[in-house]
Chain A
Amino acid sequence: MTTAAMPPSDPSREEFLASGDAVGVLSRRTSEVDQAVLRAFEETLAVLYRSGLAAIAVGGYGRRELFPYSDVDVLLLTGRDLSGSGDAAAVSCFVQRLWDAGLRLSHSVHTVEECVTLNVQNVELVVSLLDMRPLAGDARMFEDLSIRLPKFLREEGRILARHICRLARPRHDRFQNTVYHLEPDIKECPGGIRDVHLTHWLGRLRAAVGQAPPDEAIQFLSRLRCLLHYRAGRDSNRLGFEMQEEAAALEFFGRHTPADFMREYYSHALAIHRAALAAMEQAEDTGSNLLSQFLAWRSRLSNADFSVVQEQVHLKNPMQLEADPGLALRFYQFIARHGLKPAPESESRIARIASHATPRWEDAVELLRQPHALKALRAMHSSGVLKTWLPEWARIECLVVRDFHHRYTVDEHSLVAIGELAALRGSTQPEKLRFRQVLEEIEQPELLSFALLFHDTGKSVSMTDHVVESERFASQALDRLGAPADARRTVLFLVRHHGDLSLAMNTRDPADPATSQWLARRVETIENLRLLLLISYADSSAVHPGSMTTWRMEQLWRIYVETYSELTRALGIERIGGDAGDAAGASGFEAGFPTRYLRTQTPEAIEMHRALHDAAAKRGVAVDLHKREGAWSLVVAARDRAGLFASLCGAISGFGLNILKAEAFTNRRGMVLDMFAFSDPNRNLDLNPSEVERFRVTLERAILGKVDPVELLKRRPKPKLPSREAHVTGVVSVNQRASESATLVEVTAQDRPGLLYDISRTISEAGCGIDVVLVDTEAHKALDVFYITANGKKLDEEKAALLRSKLLAVIQ
C-alpha cells in the first residue's frame, strides 16, 4: 500500500485526506455513480425498453454509502425473461459501459416475482432490496415492487432475519469471534462494517429493536475505510501495521500514537460487535417451547443474591452492592460456575462500584477453577472490571504488538490461551490426548490460568525482555491478593519460564542430552515441567488459530519427554554433596539426598527437617504431623531399616487415610526423611483430636517395627473398585541405565487405598531396598518412581524381571 498506488487525479481523495469527511465522500461518489448509471441506461437500455425494465440501486449503493472503491450493486428489474440473446447483448452493453467508466459493477436481473420469493439462493438479493432506490427506467416496475415488498417482508421477515444471522455466524467464526486482531479487516471482522449492516438489516426487518451501534463508531469506521480505499487504490479493508501508523498521525484521527489509535479502533469495534450480537440474539429468539423449557430450567439457578432470566444473571438487590461490595466478586464467580451472561444493567452497576471491592487470592482462585472461568473473565474484561481488580491488566488492554506470527492483541492472546487450556480438557483429538492427560494430572490448574493472565503483561514495557517485567507485575498482583507462598512460587515460575520449552524447541537439538539437561536445570522438578508443558501448549496455540500444528505438538512433546526422563534420571544420580562425600555446605543431614530436595523445599521446611533429623538421631524416630490447606502433611525422620517405607505406608492406609504424595530419601548416615501428603476421607482425624495422637503413636511403633502393618490394614474396609471410566492401565517399567548405582522402577496405576503399601511391601519382600521415592496421585492415577537397590547395588536382570512381574500382579 503506497501512495503510488493511488488513482492519480481524484479531487475527492485530496479533499478527504485534508478533512476526513467520509459522509461527503460517500454522498459525492453516490451522486457521481448515479449520473454514470443513468447515462449508461439511457444510451443502452432505454432506447430498447421503453417499459418493463428499471434500474434500481440496491445494497450499499441503495443506501448512498458508496466507499471510494466499493462495488456498485444494480438490480435490473424486468417484467419478463431477459436471457434471450438480443436481451443479453443489450444488458452486456449496459454493463460494459459502466465497467469502461471505471466502476466495479455487480449487477443482477430479476423479475418482481423473484424479488418477493425467499429461498436459499436469493437471500442476498432480498437483503439488498431492503435499501433499494430507483435509478432509471420504468417507474411502474419500481412501484410494483415497492407495494409488494413490504407485505412480503412482513410475512417472511423473521425467517429472513434468521438467514441473515446464519450467514453472520460463520463470518464471526472465521475471525475467532473477536475484535482484537492485530491487523483487522475492518469490513468483515467482528465489529466491522458488515456488523453495522447486520444491525441495520435486522432493524429494518423489525427483528431486532433498539440495537443500533453508536453513530460515533460508525463514523470512525467509515472514515477509516475511505482512507484504506484511497491509500490502496482498491477495495482493501485490511488495517495493516503501516496503515495504523499513517492513520494515527492524521489530524482527523486525533494525531494519536499508533497504540492509542488502535485502542480507539477496538473500542468502536467492540461497541459495534456488541450491538450486532444483541441484535442477532433478538432475531434468533424463536420462543420455542423446548428452548423456553431449557431457559426456565436454567432460571432455577437463581439464589438469594442473583436471579437468572433468559440466560442472564441479574443482581436481586442492586442496592446491596454498596454495603457488600463482595457481591460483585460473587457475581462473576456465579457466571464462571454456570456459564451465564451478565445482565447489562447489573454489569454497569458492578463496574461503578468495582473499585470498592478488594478481591483476595481465594476469590481469584475460586473464579479461575470454575468450568466457565473464561466467560467470566471476558465479561469482566469487556466491562472494565478486570482492570479495576488487576490494574496490571490495563497495561496490555488492546495492546498491539508488531509480531509477524501473532494474530491478536496481547490481552486477547492471553484470554485465548486460557480458552485453549479449557478446550483441551474436553478434547478428543488423538494428538491432543496426551496433553489432556497431563492437564488432568495437575493439582491446581487455576494457577496456570492466573499465570497466563500475566505472562505477557511485560510486553507493555519491553518487547525484548518482557518476561522480567511480566514477573514483576505478577508479583505485585500476588502480593496484593495475598497469595500463599506455594502458589506465589508456582505462578512466578510459570511466568518466568513460560517461553523455555518453545525456546528449546526453536534453538536446541532435542536429541542432544545437553538440551534436556539444560531444561531440567531450569525446570527443576517434574511438577514444574508438567505445568510448563501446558502453559507452552496454551501460549503457542493462542498465537493464531492454526499455530499449534500436529507437527509442533510432536516437537513440544518430544522436548517434554526428554526432559521428564532427565529429571527422573537426575533423581537417582544427582545427590547433594556429590558422590564423593560431604562437600562444603552439604555436610548436614541432607548430604546424600537428591538435589531435588533443595529445589522443592522452603528454607523453613529444611530447618524443620533438620530438627526432626537431630531428634531422630537420638531416639530413632521423630514425627511431624500437621494439617495444611485442606490436606494432612506428615514428615518422618528415622534410622533406615528394611521395609521401613512399606511399614509407614501400611500404618497410614490402616488408619483409612489416602496417600496423595510421598517422597522418601536416605542420607549418607543411613537416616531417612519421608514426607507424605494424605487426605482423610472419613474425617477421622478432623473430628477426633484424640485420634491424631493415637495415629502418631501408631506411626512411631510402625517405624520401629513394633507393630505389623498387616494387622492394621485388616481393620480397614475393602476399597470400592474404580469405575470403568476411571480405569488406568497399570504399567511397570524397569530402567537399568538411569543410574550407576540403583535400578529405576516407574509404576503407573489406578489409584486405590493401600496401593502404595502393596507396592512398597512387594519391593521389600523381594529383598530390595528403596533408595529414593517420588509418588504423585492425580485424578485416580498413581505415578510412582522408585530407585531400588539390592545389597547396596543395582538389581541384576533376573531380580529386576521378577520384581516387575510381582509389581504388575499387585497393581492389576
Chain B
Amino acid sequence: MKKIEAIIQPFKLNDVREALKGIGVDGVTVSEVRGHGRQKGHKEIYRGMEYEVDLLPKVKLELIVTDARVEEITGALLKSARTGKIGDGKIFIYDVREAIRIRNDDRGDAAL
C-alpha cells in the first residue's frame, strides 16, 4: 500500500477530482493548505497599498492506494493537475504499513 500526497493549485481541484473519478478512485482527503516552494509568494497592490503574500493557497490531496494502482493514479494526477507553469505543485509517495477499517476491523487492501 502507498500513500499518495499531492499538493496542487486550488483551481485544478475539480479537474483532478474528475480525473480520479474517471479511473474509479472514490476515496480522497482534501485539505486547504498554504505554502510555497520555488514559486515563492507574490505582491498584491490594491489602491496603492502593497501587500506581500508569501504563503500561497494550495490544495492537498491524500489517497491511500494499493501498490498496483500507484502508477495509474499518479499518471492521472500529473495529467490533470499540470498547467506547465511554476506553482503546479508536487506529488509525494510514501509506503504505508497497515490500513484498518474502524467499522469492521478489515485490514490491508481490504480496508481501502
- The answer, among A509, A551, A564, A731, for a CB contact under 8 Å with B57, is A551
B47 near A551: Cβ-Cβ < 8 Å: no
Is the CB of A549 closer than 8 A to any CB of chain B?
A: yes
Which of A104-112, A139-147, A552-560 binds B? A552-560
Which of A500-508, A670-678, A758-766 binds B? A500-508
Chain B residues positioned under 8 Å from A747 (CB to CB): 48
Chain A residues positioned under 8 Å from B46 (CB to CB): 561, 564-565
Chain B residues positioned under 8 Å from A525 (CB to CB): none
Pick the most buried of B44, B45, B47, B83: most chain A CB atoms within 10 A of its CB: B47
Interface size on B, residues (CB 8 A): 20
Please list the residues of chain A having a beta carbon within 8 angstroms of any beta carbon in chain B: 505-512, 549, 551-552, 554-555, 558, 561, 564-565, 731-733, 735, 746-748, 783
- The answer, among B14, B32, B53, B87, for a CB contact under 8 Å with A507, is B14
Is the CB of B11 closer than 8 A to any CB of chain A?
A: yes
Give A551 to B10 CA distance when docked, in angstroms.
Answer: 10
Is the CB of B49 closer than 8 A to any CB of chain A?
A: yes
Is the CB of B90 closer than 8 A to any CB of chain A?
A: no
Chain B residues positioned under 8 Å from A508 (CB to CB): 11
Is the CB of B21 closer than 8 A to any CB of chain A?
A: no
Please list the residues of chain B having a beta carbon within 8 angstroms of any beta carbon in chain A: 9-11, 13-14, 32-34, 42, 44-49, 53, 57, 83, 85, 87
A748 near B13: Cβ-Cβ < 8 Å: no
Decide yes or no: A551 and B48 within 8 Å by CB, A509-B83, A509-B85, A510-B11 being known contacts. Answer: no
A345: min CB distance to chain B, Å: 50
A–B complex contacts, Cβ < 8 Å, 5 sampled: A512-B85, A551-B34, A558-B53, A731-B49, A747-B48
Chain B residues positioned under 8 Å from A733 (CB to CB): 45, 47-49
Chain B residues positioned under 8 Å from A507 (CB to CB): 11, 14
B103: min CB distance to chain A, Å: 12
B47 near A511: Cβ-Cβ < 8 Å: no
Give A564 to B49 CA distance when docked, in angstroms.
Answer: 13
Chain B residues positioned under 8 Å from A554 (CB to CB): 53, 57
Give A746 to B49 CA distance when docked, in angstroms.
Answer: 10
Give A509 to B83 CA distance when docked, in angstroms.
Answer: 9
Give A555 to B9 CA distance when docked, in angstroms.
Answer: 11
Chain A residues positioned under 8 Å from B32 (CB to CB): 549, 551-552
A697: min CB distance to chain B, Å: 37
Give A746 to B45 CA distance when docked, in angstroms.
Answer: 11
Give A732 to B47 CA distance when docked, in angstroms.
Answer: 8
Give A511 to B36 CA distance when docked, in angstroms.
Answer: 14
Chain B residues positioned under 8 Å from A549 (CB to CB): 32
Give A561 to B48 CA distance when docked, in angstroms.
Answer: 11
B77: min CB distance to chain A, Å: 18
B30: min CB distance to chain A, Å: 12
A505 near B44: Cβ-Cβ < 8 Å: no
Chain B residues positioned under 8 Å from A512 (CB to CB): 85
Give A725 to B88 CA distance when docked, in angstroms.
Answer: 44
B10 near A505: Cβ-Cβ < 8 Å: yes
Chain B residues positioned under 8 Å from A552 (CB to CB): 32
- The answer, among B9, B44, B48, for a CB contact under 8 Å with A558, is B44
Give A561 to B42 CA distance when docked, in angstroms.
Answer: 12
A555 near B47: Cβ-Cβ < 8 Å: no
B87 near A731: Cβ-Cβ < 8 Å: no
B9 near A731: Cβ-Cβ < 8 Å: no
Chain A residues positioned under 8 Å from B48 (CB to CB): 731-733, 746-748
CB-CB nearest in chain A for B49: A731
B11 near A506: Cβ-Cβ < 8 Å: yes
A509 near B9: Cβ-Cβ < 8 Å: yes
Give A540 to B68 CA distance when docked, in angstroms.
Answer: 39
A783 near B47: Cβ-Cβ < 8 Å: yes
Chain A residues positioned under 8 Å from B10 (CB to CB): 505-506, 555
Chain A residues positioned under 8 Å from B42 (CB to CB): 511
B106: min CB distance to chain A, Å: 17
Give A554 to B53 CA distance when docked, in angstroms.
Answer: 10
**Closest A-B pairs by Cβ, 4 of them:** A733-B48, A551-B32, A731-B48, A746-B48
CB-CB nearest in chain A for B32: A551
Chain A residues positioned under 8 Å from B85 (CB to CB): 509, 511-512
B111: min CB distance to chain A, Å: 20
CB-CB nearest in chain B for A554: B57
B45 near A555: Cβ-Cβ < 8 Å: no
